[in-house]
Structure 1
Amino acid sequence: MTDSADNKIDYSKTLNLPQTDYPMRAGLPKKEPEIIERWNEMNLYKRLREDAKGREKFVLHDGPPYANGNLHIGHALNKTLKDIITRSFQMRGYDSNYVPGWDCHGLPIEWKIEEQYRGKGKNKDEVPINEFRKECRDFATHWVGVQSEEFLRLGITGDFENPYLTMNFDSEAIIANELMKFAKSGQLYRGSKPIMWSVVEQTALAEAEIEYEMYESDAIWVKFPIASQKDNSGAEKEELVRLSKAIEDTDGWTGDGELSDAKEKYLLTDASVVIWTTTPWTIPANRAVSYSSRINYALFEVTAAEHDFGPQAGDKLIFAEKLATECFEKAKLEFKKLRDVSADELGSLTLSHPLRGHGGGYEFDVPMLDGDHVTDDAGTGFVHTAPSHGRDDFEIWVSMRNELEARGIDASIPFTVDDQGFYTDDAPGFGPESDGGAAQVIDHKGKKGDANKRVIAALIERDNLFSRGRIKHEYPHSWRSKKPIIFRNTPQWFVYMDKDGVCEKGTLRDTALAAIEETRFVPAVGKNRLRGMIAGRPDWVLSRQRAWGVPITVFRNEETGQVIPGPDFEKSDELSKRIVDAFKADGADAWYSEGAKERFLDGLVEDQQNWQKVDDILDVWFDSGSTHAFCLEQREDLKWPADVYLEGSDQHRGWFHSSLLESSGTRGRAPYNAVITHGFTMAEDGRKMSKSLGNQMFPQDIIKKSGADILRLWVASTDYQEDQRIGEEILKTNIDSYRKLRNTLRWMLGTLAHDEGEKIAFADMPELERLMLHRIWELDKLVNSNYNNFDFKRITRGLLDFMVLELSAFYFDVRKDALYCDGPSSVRRKAALQVVGILFDRLVTWMAPILPFTMEETWLSRYPDAQSVHLEQFRGCSDEWRDDALAAKWKKVRQVRRVVTGALEIERREKRIGSSLEAAPVVYINNQELSAAIKGLDMEEICITSDIMISAGAVPDDAFTLDDVAGVAVVSQKAKGDKCARSWRVTNDVGTDPEFPEVSARDAKVLQELKQLGKL
């Protein structure tokens, strides 16, 4: 076809321009549901399992969320991370099955049903327990369905048709059996300790169910008068008083000998020890005062008082020396130091209770105890010790029990506060028999009662209040009701942490600590955190006083205290089997059914009347801690132990913790090989998300507006191991990154539309293609190593930068001329198409775990007959592609190119040229390494200019340079010649082929080839 005025060629039709139906605008909110529907129709999950059959298993075990509401942004982060992991291992040769699970028992759900009851004026206690439990079950079932749909919309692939639920009958049976394993091994016991108690929710709480909020407490400083002091000679206070009287009657006393020693002793016996507390209501439960032998104490005397109440001049008081000034100033007192007080002296003191004489019940002695938990960071240096209401208080009291009893001190622990927050008869003067009735610490709405007020009034009456005030501090609250809790002594069911011989490695604590050492932690700091919690935790309290959950399936003999099943009961296995079989048939409701006691005990014990069926339920953390037993061990498509547990960092005290203890106590090791933790999601400004601040972001809203892949890209781009931020501006950044990524994919698809599958041997490829294959080899290592390390940010950043900076802005930019304009026989064009295909296959599969919707759409656009990108495997890379020397060389080449493109950018900005093809710059290179690097290369093609001249001459003063590229300067010039109508290059050979006078010689040759092939 001749290029003439009468028969003009449309040169654009002779170019291999990108051709694709792949849209530039993703339209993810509409497109993603269509992809989900396709996955459902083809049953992608089933296909994945079939394809992976026989491969090595990789199991990420799902930590169960509560089934009690819509998903929040933390759920989206958590589930997306899990999905990326399972998909990445599936596409790397593993059978990586994901089974979602839900925590269906416990207070979160029971609380919702009670709220509904209160709204209807119903009383929970008037409803048969199994009827109430059915409502809880129905509520959980509803939310499992809702959350399943929300997870699926997020792009999560897993066995949502057969998830594990803690409320499934088989699950409840195995949870009960796990509990009975502890009972049969002798690890379970009934004891009395101070535990965290919610008056509002009427149940014990675990540490994992607590959050700390700012709270204003009454703070009081209380005097404990010294009742007696035992010195080394055995003298008591009365003798010291006698000696002191002798001192006063002695003329010319010099302060020597026995009388001098007596005077010093007497100064203590006339003094008081001062404590500080933010829980005045615990004073009736006080049984001791603790001090520390590491702290310096001193005796002080009040010299002047601003007020006529409280301490007065002449009063003698003992404080930690470091804290005395602050305390006296608080009470507006002037003072002087009399002398130091040794730890031995403090240990010899016996105190009077500050409420002695009030209500007739505080006449007992109060000992001084040396405790490691005492510090002089705040307060007075002394710790008011109420073993009913504090963990440290309890531990030191119990540890000293034998010594205290030998001294004639009653070492029993009182029950001063009941489950509704009222004082009992163990708090004389404040209990039910007192004037005004029982004082209350906290009421059923979580508000302060009158206990503090009445206790403070009694202390003032006894002249034992040193000072008072208020303090705002962090105080434990229930994370469900958001109300403050109290520590109270109450009978509960515990598992021993330090009982020897019950586990393979000694105690449960020892076994759990050994398991931690054998576990991989990501990030590594999680190991220290969990180890510290296990090392310092008290015995595991299992019981809750609620209705919805798995009961503590044991019987207790009220006369002997024996527990069955138990280590001393010969028929324990039979009893356990009866309970497990019943639960498998009827669920845990069987425990509460009429005749349950007889059903389980008939023929196993002689006198059923003495056996009490325990109706407390298990802490839900025991439920979730047992998921490994009723999920991993029971399913053939999974394995035990799991390869990975992944949850938020708060689960060091939650699911990671309870799973470790449960498995260590029953199997001698952790149920996981690795633990991964993520941080919490904050608002864009770094503040915690809250309804009141109006800064919450919901995954449903993000998906509806932008699509799930945008949310997933945010997850993969962030450092999830730390607290992350999300907001409109942050999402805009991710949307922009996604747009660039999609445009790169779209260009590749359009270009590959011309790929006819011809292959060029690696050795015959141009340097630029071999460079790209080297980079793919490097990226293959980066991608696989970081999928193994669960570092998705490094993968995402690496691939995005490669696609935008190295492909779109460099390789594709350079190769567009060859790909569009070269003829069918061009080796350069064939090699470039081959490399683009290699790039496409690897980039799309590598990113499929992160952006499953987009990569599915992209893959099917290239391979319409394929089933799914998620049924593909990551492509390998030949070691032949590695060429470090070539990469180092081209790093230098690109430095030269950067100076050229920088100079041309100025020319475009000043509108002296329209495109770089109008330029013919002169490049001055006075750097031998850079000169050697570009030698033999077509720098016109690399810099996308029509001509270029390389010079080693003197650099003109007006040449363009970059500070970080030494020895390179550029003088911009316009290209000379005519513009080719086909390639737009400006050359001197346009029109040399008379048949095609408007194009360059190169383009005319291509047109001749096309003509011969009948394509023109």
Structure 2
Amino acid sequence: MTDAADTTPHDATRDWRDTVFLPKTDFPMKAGLAAKEPAILERWARIGVYDTLRKERSGRERFILHDGPPYANGDIHMGHAMNKVLKDIIVRSQTLMGKDAPYVPGWDCHGLPIEWKVEEAYRAKKLNKDDVPVDQFRAECRAYAEKWVAVQRAQFERLGVMGDWADPYLTMKYEAEAAIVGELLKFAESGQLYRGAKPVMWSPVEKTALAEAEVEYEDVVSTQIDVAFEIVDAPNAPELVGAHAVIWTTTPWTIPVNQALSYGPEIEYVLLDVLVGGELTTSSNEQVQSSRQIKSDTKILIAADLVSSFSKRLPIHEFVEVPLWRGKGSDLEGATARHPMHALGGFFAKPRPFLPGDFVTTDAGTGLVHMAPDHGEDDFLLCKQYGIDPVFAVDGAGMYRADWAWLGGQGSVINKKFVAAEGPICTDLRAAGALLAASDDFAHSYPHSWRSKAKVIFRATPQWFIPMDKSATQSPARLRVSGRSCSQHDLNDAGHRLPETGLGEGLSASDTLADLAGPPPTPPASGRGAEEGNGATLRQIALDAIAATKWVPARAENRITSMVSGRPDWVISRQRAWGVPIALYVHRQTGEYLNDPAVNARIVAAFREGGADAWFTADHAVLLGAGYDLAEYEPQRDILDVWFDSGCTHVFTVEARYGEGTRANLYLEGSDQHRGWFQSSLLESCGTRGRAPYDAVLTHGFALDGQGRKMSKSLGNVVDPLKIIGESGADILRMWVASTDYFDDVKIGKEVLATASDAYRKLRNTFRYLLGALDGFDEAERVPVADMPELERYVLHRLAMLDTELREAATGYEFNRYIRLLTDFANEDLSAFFFDVRKDSLYCDAPDSVTRRSYRTVLDVLYHALVRYAAPVLCFTAEEVWQARFPSEDRSVHFLEWPTLPDLAADGALIERWRTLRLVRGDINVALESARREKRVRTGLEADLDVRIALAPPLRAIEEVGLDAFTEMCIAASVEVAPGDTAGAAVAVVVTPTEKHKCGRCWRHLPEVTVDGALCDRCTSVVA
């Protein structure tokens, strides 16, 4: 400030800028996050922020967000970024609220995604993975996973995700593999494990069973065929003998495995006569030469309601209903037909029975369904009920096994040419005179492996299951073949080699599975599971656990309840090499798995010492111990479903680190995990602990491109989070995540990111203003709340209201609401109002002015509150803001807790008064903006305002604060307020250019200023 002797208050030519108290800060408006953030990360690592927090919060209430494991195979994508940032925001907000909130990141390191990548490298070198020793192959899978764990860890850290990166959990760590096999053995010891055969989704490309979560559905165009089965016996309707029952299917490759036909007992069927108008043709109307044609007296049996649609598939024919027979499906009881390829003998010569099926409808087809128990859930269950078992004709690669009488050694069944209307299956059926129609034009949705993108098939193979509807005391535990107990060794002894990776690859046509661990259960209509004996079923326990869990959003509960209510038994075996083996010994004669706690303990100890590899290199005689003869037991070679691995993470992460019985407070993943990790974790924990492993589950949607489309490399619309971080910084990405309504699918693109960047810029500008305005502030300047002007007390009340709302939003995981509340407060309450009104006092009042000191006191409170509120979301920027004011080598903004605000007595009248004043100010600003556009005034300081108000509350509010304070609030030269006619509006404002002169220092137009540029009384006092 200039010395008093050098000041001449009435000197209109003096430049007074050096006497104004302008904000001062080195905090830059340009963020430069991409360059700054790595240095901040290095500092956090150097001072050990995460470890320090664990020490400082020790003994506090704990909040555990258990991390769902991504696969360690490739750079992170936007879904990863969204998921990890949201988790970090939650963990940081819980830490801010004073809790001990550890975060242990983890990775899924086993299973097909990683094994597939290693196999791709083999294929590129024209090598066969099956020719590589299993220990070598597993070592390469481990090395591949280790590589990508390191890459992804660095990428997640670059997002600002705070966690125990030095000691993450990995499903391939020895202690994790030991825990996983230990959990499997708990299921075995409680009888909740059985080996049976029924159709599961199978990938012929990856040669393994797949879980529902590993399958995606794509639109395809398939071949549809109508096939005639000649009826040879019909006790209740002899008129049908010699006629042909017609079935329709879109999977022609299942016809060589047909074993029965199914009808709807209440469906009405008719007998039709075929009037031949020419040779039998395909729907493409290309004439086909066949060794046998449908004769003019051929009769066809189909559902009455489907005659019209059926006839359209055979346009060359006409149909006439035979009046001699029309009946219900129940009349077909006891009837049999012969397979179109019956002349091949053996399996194909057996009569095909007609079976009643409640799943048969007249929605499409012919009202008769061909049954292949190897390749359909309904087929399997119905045929099993009548003693008809799978025959395993299709091998793991989708080929008919070499000894199969029809098409042996041929395939693949997912090959479009193989099943086409002109392919070998249809060609043979046509030659046999059984193909009534075939076309390659049926559009529908079909399951594909999400890894290889190839079609999957339903295929019956012996697998290990965890039953959903049997109590622990009654779960089946053996596999039976041909009415007797059987083991893998028995199947091998049948003369057909089985591969080392699993069962069921080479049975002969005479082998059947007659009693596959008892009849598969049928869930009751309620979906709650049937309680057997005195124990609840896994389904029932899981549904009860779902009801006891908090689901965010609430609608998620209905989704997972529906899935668990209707899901089949859990197939936990996979025919692969990279994973945790199903470490069981099966008796070669009885088929029972060994259930000895002492043996199980040795297995777990071996895994803890040498990991899962120990099973493949073990001396099994030692593991079995002296009480058992290895020659009598077959060590299992299948590995566990990777979902079982990840379902056990709560055991070797949450319980191992925080104590047995500890549950996670929260699981958080994408909505697809209702059928994945949420469910596998639920079932694993319910089966071994009788409860869910979590108290609450939060699900978020998927990240789509700016137009709302799924991101795809083929579309070229992939938004790379690493590129965004490299160009704009992680805090921009974090701002976007917090601002989205992430409970649903969200969009990200240039426009969306621009909006997030703009919101970030405004919030950064607020911090910059606070830092500048607080330059030099110390405790001696602080003013007690009671001595503050009303405006300051009002802002503190608004801050207290914000504080309550932010805490509620953070507790409810509503961070889109959280960040919106924070930015709206900064923009509307502060920048557009409080800062605007008080900038004159900040710049021009004397340092000892009560108003200025009160303002700076409130700014200090705001700074301490806002930097904390922002820290969970803008973790880097909050650190920068904190260090700009309180530089420290070993402290961080993230050590701070939720702000403690000044004590305020409830004052609803004050809040309502200032709310009303702000509404009036809003109307005045509209009038001033209009005057500026018309160039009648340049700023509000040049305007005299005549304000007419029709309502009493605003008039009363202005009177209570005083006209001077209201004028200062309006930032005008003068304001006159009076009741009056407002022409229907709440407020009417007349703006007139002022004739008062402008103070050369504060730029206010005041009566005491005699000439433009001279000083007003206040400024005269201050500069003196």
TM-score by length of 2: 0.88
Measured after TM superposition, the shift of residue 711 of structure 1 is 0.5
SS in structure 2 at match of 1:220 = strand
Q: Distance in 1 between matches of 2:307 and 2:246?
A: 10
Structure 2 equivalent of residue 678 of structure 1: 700
1:307-359 CA-to-partner distances (Å, cap 9, x unmatched) read 53176766544444444322212221444555753242244543333433345
1:362-511 alignment runs, 5 A limit:
362-398=348-384, 400=385, 404-405=386-387, 411-424=388-401, 427-432=404-409, 438-442=410-414, 453-469=423-439, 470-502=441-473, 505-511=535-541
Is 1:883 aligned with 2:907? yes
Unmatched runs of 5 consecutive residues or more in structure 2: 282-293, 476-533
**Structure-2 residue corresponding to 1:557:** 587
AA aligned opposite 2:867: V
Q: Kindly provide the amino acid, as one letter, of the partner of residue 34 in structure 1.
A: A
Q: Which residue in the other structure is 1:574 paired with? A: 598
* Contact 1:97/1:638, CA 8 A, preserved across alignment: no
2:170 and 2:198 map into 1 onto residues whose CA distance is: 32
**Residue identity opposite 2:307 in structure 1:** A
- Of 504-513 and 524-533, more deviation after overlay is shown by 504-513
Identity over the aligned pairs, expressed in percent? 48
Letter in 2 for 1:842: A
CA distance in structure 1 between the partners assigned to 2:563 and 2:652 by the alignment:
26
Aligned residue identity for 2:586? R
Does residue 893 (structure 1) correspond to residue 909 (structure 2)? The answer is: no
Q: Deviations over 1:519-563 (max 9, x none)?
A: 111112221221222221222111111111111101111211021
Measure the CA separation in 2 of the matches of 1:324 and 1:769. 83
Q: Deviations over 1:150-205 (max 9, x none)?
A: 01100000000001111111111111111111111112222111122222112221
> How far apart, in 2, do the equivalents of 1:769 and 1:32 lie?
35
- The Cα shift of 1:843 comes to 1.6
Per the alignment, residue 571 of structure 2 pairs with 541
Partner of 1:221: 226
Aligned equivalents of 2:536 and 2:876: distance in 1?
A: 51
Letter in 1 for 2:438: R
Offset of residue 41 of structure 1: 1.1
Equivalent residue letter for 2:390 = I
Q: Tell me if 1:617 matches 2:627.
A: no
> How far did residue 450 of structure 1 move?
7.9
- Is 1:849 the counterpart of 2:872? The answer is yes
Q: Which residue in the other structure is 1:47 paired with?
A: 52
Select which of 167, 171, 190 maps to 1:185: 190
Q: Does 1:342 align with 2:365?
A: no
- Superposed, 1:988-999 pairs within 5 Å as 988-991=1007-1010, 998-999=1014-1015
1:274 maps to 2:246? yes
* Letter paired with 1:325: S
Describe the shift of the 1:336–1:450 C-alpha distance in structure 2 as closer, same or farther (beyond 3 A).
closer
Matching of residue 927 in structure 1 with residue 951 in structure 2: yes
Judge which range, 356-365 or 702-711, deviates more.
356-365
Distance 2:295 2:886 in 1: 92
Question: Partner letter of residue 529 of structure 1?
Answer: R
Take 1:872 and 1:451, find their aligned partners in 2: how far apart are those partners?
71
Residues 918/676 of structure 1: CA separation in 2 closer, same or farther (3 Å cut): same
Structure 1 letter corresponding to 2:176: S
Q: Helix, strand or coil for the counterpart of 1:142?
A: helix
- Report matched runs for 1:615-694 at 5 Å: 615-636=637-658, 640-694=662-716
In the alignment, does 2:213 pair up with 1:230?
A: no
Out of 542, 546, 550, the residue aligned to residue 520 of structure 1 is 550
CA distance in 2, matches of 1:426, 1:537: 35
Q: Return the offset for 1:230.
A: 3.0
The one-letter amino acid paired with 1:1005 is S
> Quick check: 2:421–2:427 contact (8 Å CA) kept in 1?
no
Distance, in Å, in 1 between the alignment partners of 2:397 and 2:176 is: 33
What do you get for the CA RMSD once the two structures are aligned?
Answer: 2.5
Asked whether the equivalents of residues 393 and 400 of structure 2 are also in contact (C-alpha less than 8 Å), the reply is yes
5 Å matches for 1:271-350? 271-293=243-265, 296-299=267-270, 301-302=272-273, 304=275, 307-309=278-280, 315-332=298-315, 333-335=317-319, 341-347=327-333, 349-350=335-336
| Offset, 1:672 | 0.9
How far the C-alpha of 1:374 sits from its partner, in A, is 3.2
**Which moved further from structure 2: 108-117 or 631-640?**
631-640
Contact 1:512 1:664 in 2 (8 A): yes
Cα distance, 1:471 vs. partner? 1.7
- For residue 634 of structure 1, give the secondary structure of its aligned residue in structure 2: helix
Distance 2:466 2:728 in 1: 49
19 and 291 in structure 1: CA distance in 2 versus 1, 3 angstrom threshold: farther
Q: 1:775 to 1:555 in 2, by over 3 A?
A: same
The CA deviation at 1:214 is: 2.4
Q: Using the TM superposition, give the Cα deviation of residue 819 of structure 1 relative to its aligned residue in structure 2, in angstroms.
A: 1.9
Q: What SS is found at the alignment partner of 2:697?
A: strand
Partner AA of 2:311 in structure 1: F
Partner of 1:196: 201
Alignment match of 1:969 (pick from 956, 965, 988): 988
C-alpha contact 1:976 1:988 (8 A) present in aligned 2: no
SS in 1 for 2:992: coil
Secondary structure at the aligned position of 2:39 is classed as: helix
8 Å contact from structure 1 (residues 553, 614) kept in 2: yes
Residue 837 to residue 562, structure 1, CA distance change in 2 (3 Å): same
Please give the secondary structure, in 1, of the residue aligned with 2:458: strand
Aligned to 1:916: 940
Provide Cα deviations, 1:954-1004, integer angstroms capped at 9, x if missing partner. 55xxxxx8xxx8331111101121001111011111159xxx981112322
Deviation at 1:686, TM superposition (A): 1.2
Alignment partner, residue 90 of structure 2: 85
- Distance in structure 1 (CA, Å) of the matches to 2:366 and 2:777: 82
Secondary structure of the residue aligned to 1:908 is helix
CA apart distance, 1:771: 2.0
Q: Post-superposition shift, 1:833?
A: 1.6
Tell me, yes or no, if the aligned pair for 1:713 and 1:850 is still in contact at 8 Å. yes
Counterpart position of 2:967: 940
State how far apart, in whole Å, the 1-side matches of 2:985 and 2:944 are.
Answer: 22
Are the equivalent residues in 2 in contact too, given 1:681–1:723 (CA < 8 A)?
yes
1:690-727 residue CA offsets vs partner (Å, 9 max, x unmatched): 11111101111000000000001111011111111111
Match of 1:21 in 2: 26
Aligned pair in 2 of structure 1 residues 165, 456: CA closer, same or farther (>3 Å)?
same
Distance 1:524 1:306 in 2: 62
CA displacement at 1:145 relative to structure 2? 0.8
Structure 1 residues 830 and 312: CA distance shift in structure 2, 3 A: farther
When residues 370 and 877 of structure 1 are mapped into structure 2, their CA distance, relative to the original with a 3 A threshold, is farther
Give the direction of change, closer, same or farther, for the CA distance of 1:969–1:627 in structure 2 (3 Å limit): same
1:859 aligns with 2:882: yes
Distance in 2 between the 1:280 and 1:134 partners?
Answer: 41
Aligned partner of 1:1014 in structure 2 is none
77-86 vs 838-847, greater mean Cα deviation: 838-847
Q: 1:805 aligns with which of 809, 823, 828?
A: 828
The structure 1 residue matched to 2:929, chosen from 902, 905, 924, is 905
Q: How does 1:635-784 map to 2 (within 5 A)?
A: 635-636=657-658, 640-757=662-779, 758-784=781-807
Give the CA deviation at 1:582.
1.3
1:754 shift after superposition: 4.5
Q: Which runs of 5+ in 1 are unaligned?
A: 238-265, 406-410, 433-437, 567-571, 956-960, 1009-1016
Shift in alpha-carbon separation, 1:770–1:316, aligned structure 2, 3 A: farther
CA distance in 2, matches of 1:148, 1:912: 61
**SS in structure 1 opposite 2:612?**
helix
Structure 2 residue aligned with 1:30, among 23, 27, 35? 35
Within 2, Cα distance between the matches of 1:624 and 1:781?
38
State the Cα deviation string for residues 425-459 of structure 1 (Å, max 9, x = none).
68532225xxxxx343147xx98578982222232
* Alignment length (residue pairs): 939
SS in 2 for 1:230: coil
Instruction: Provide the rounded CA distance (Å) in 1 between the counterparts of 2:651 and 2:278.
Output: 66
Contact 2:949 2:981 in 1 (8 A): no
Q: Counterpart of 2:1016?
A: 1000
Q: Secondary structure at the match of 1:921?
A: strand
The counterpart of 2:120, out of the listed 96, 115, 121, is 115
TM-score (norm 1): 0.88
